[in-house]
Homo-oligomer: A and B are copies of this chain.
C-alpha cells in the first residue's frame, strides 16, 4: 500500500457570506448532516480541523450543542467513531477568524483555497493542488453552502480550485458530495 503524505489541511464550511439562487448574498442555516458527513469525510482523509463558519450566535450554539453531544455526551459513548469525527469541529464567526485560529498553531497563516461549481479565472486543478499541499504548510480548504461562496470570498483567496465535473454540463453536487470527492482527489493514497 502506498505511503500517505501527512497534509496540513483544514476545512471550512461557510454559511456567510454565500449566495442564494439569484446571486444575492445571504446567511444560510447550519444543517446537522453537513456537520456529520463532512466531519466523517474529514476524519477519513486526515484533515486537521473542520471550521463551521457562521456569524449567528444561535447557530454557533447549535453547532456546539451537536458536536458536544458526540464528543462529550451520550452519542460519543455509544459511537466512538462518530466522536473522533465530530471532534474535528470548530466554530468560527468568519473565515478570517478560522484563518487566525490556524495561524495561532504557530506554523504561519494558512493559504486559503476556495471551491466553486462555476468557472473562474486562474483555477488550479485538483491534481496540481495535491502536489502543492505536499509542502506540509498549512492550508484551509473552503466550501460554500446554499448556491456557493460569495464572490468577495473567492476574489481574495490564494487558490481557486476547479469545479468537480462529471458528464456533460450537469454540475449540481451537494456540498457533502463535493467535499468527499475533492478530499479523495487531494488526499487518497
A43 adjacent to B170 (CB under 8 Å)? yes
Q: List 28 A-B contacts (CB under 8 A).
A: A4-B167, A36-B174, A40-B172, A41-B174, A43-B166, A43-B170, A43-B172, A44-B164, A44-B167, A44-B170, A44-B173, A44-B177, A46-B166, A46-B167, A81-B170, A81-B172, A84-B170, A165-B189, A166-B183, A167-B187, A174-B176, A176-B180, A177-B180, A180-B181, A181-B181, A181-B184, A184-B184, A184-B185
Interface size class of A (residues with CB under 8 A): 35 or more
A36 cross-chain contacts in B, Cβ below 8 A: 174
A52 within 8 A of B: no
Q: Which of A149-181 contact B (CB under 8 A)?
A: 164-168, 170-174, 176-181
Bound-state CA distance A41–B178 (Å) is 9
A40 cross-chain contacts in B, Cβ below 8 A: 172-174, 177
Bound-state CA distance A154–B155 (Å) is 48
Q: Report the copy number of this chain in the oligomer.
A: 2
Bitwise, A42-71 to B at CB < 8 A (1) or not (0) is 011110000000000000000000000000
A168 cross-chain contacts in B, Cβ below 8 A: 46
A102 within 8 A of B: no
A77 within 8 A of B: no
A82 cross-chain contacts in B, Cβ below 8 A: 172
Q: Shortest distance in angstroms between A146's beta carbon and chain B's nearest beta carbon?
A: 13
Q: Shortest distance in angstroms between A178's beta carbon and chain B's nearest beta carbon?
A: 8
